[in-house]
Amino acid sequence: MRLHERVAFITGAGGGIGQSTVKRFLREGAKVIACDRDDLSLQRLKSSLSETHSLHLRSLDVSSHEDVERAVKAGLGAFGQIDILINNASAISLTPTPTTTMKRFDLMFDVDVRGTFACTQACLAALIRSAEAGRNPHILNLSPPLSMKARWFAPHVAYTMAKYGMSMCTLGHASEFRRHGIGVNSLWPRTLIATAALQMIPGLDTQKCRKPEILADAAWLILTSDARAVTGNFFIDQALLGEHGVTDLDRYAVAPGTQDLMQDLFVD
């Protein structure tokens, strides 16, 4: 188990992609600091697990720098180290400019951009210590490849800017932290993933989506790679799995056998 004795700090861990990643990492022998703003979702996560001695639950509002610092301190108090940071927490509003309230605009930037930066900043010292100890530290942002095309902006300018803000953190931090031996990458799905966020898209057929487990498996591949060699990448789940010989993706489909799966945003 190549995650054995490593500690992962995961935001947005209470459901969907975050929850699937927590469960995969626990199975691989990691310890996990699972953070989410929704305490109830964290308790549901805990109740779904057979053993929780390797799990530390933490209520966290990533938009609050003070809350982030407290969560990191508590995680270090529980396990003594942080070797992996997964910035998964995100806010979404697929709305055009006239109907995007400034409250929603601020929420997306506070959670997606500010939260990613704040969690990275707060975990950095621990990740540097992880590198010095030879524990292969990584940061993984759940954000899309940067593609400066108008079609990805025009329908929902605010959301696109917020998600690209996370990806700009990947681009910049990969270069900034390279000297420390910290790998920084982004991961994004080729197809839509069946999560609660899809409720923001009226009339969407979830039968044409994949399950969050595909991203958890792809994340495992990234976070068990050599952080010094694998950094500054914008991985697409399907392509990454294919590169590692995983070609049977039907097991990830909500409805196995479905051929016309819906493509996610930002994938050219």
Residue 14 belongs to a domain: yes
pTM reported for the whole predicted model: 0.97
Q: Does residue 22 carry a pLDDT above 60? A: yes
Domain with 149, as residue range(s), is 7-252
CA-based nearest residue to 204, from 189, 190, 215, 194: 194
Residue 64 belongs to a domain: yes
Residue 147 belongs to a domain: yes
Share of the chain above pLDDT 90, in %: 93
> Band of the pLDDT at 85, cuts 50, 70, 90?
very high
Decide: residue 249, CB within 10 A, 0-12 exposed, 13-18 middle, 19+ buried.
Answer: middle
pLDDT single digits (tens) 213-257: 999 999 999 999 999 999 999 999 999 999 999 999 999 999 999
- Per-residue pLDDT, 256: 96
- Per-residue pLDDT, 204: 80
CA-based nearest residue to 178, from 244, 210, 226, 119: 226
Read off the pLDDT of each residue in 185-195 and give the average, rounded to a whole number: 96
Residue 96 belongs to a domain: yes
Residue 205 belongs to a domain: yes
Read off the tokens for 89.
Answer: 């927490």
Read off the tokens for 28.
Answer: 């691989």
Residue 148 belongs to a domain: yes
In DSSP terms, which residues pair with 265 in a beta bridge?
none
pLDDT single digits (tens) 40-65: 999 999 999 998 999 999 999 999 99
Is 252 tagged catalytic? Answer: no
User: Cβ neighbours of residue 228 under 8 Å, at least 6 residues apart?
Assistant: 178, 181, 183
Residue 262 belongs to a domain: no
- Per-residue pLDDT, 197: 76
In DSSP terms, which residues pair with 210 in a beta bridge?
193, 253
> Band of the pLDDT at 200, cuts 50, 70, 90?
low
Domain count, the chain: 1
Supply the CATH number for residue 89's domain: 3.40.50.720
Pairing of strands 183-188, 234-236: parallel
Single out the catalytic residue among 117, 159, 220, 266. Answer: 159
Residue 2 belongs to a domain: no
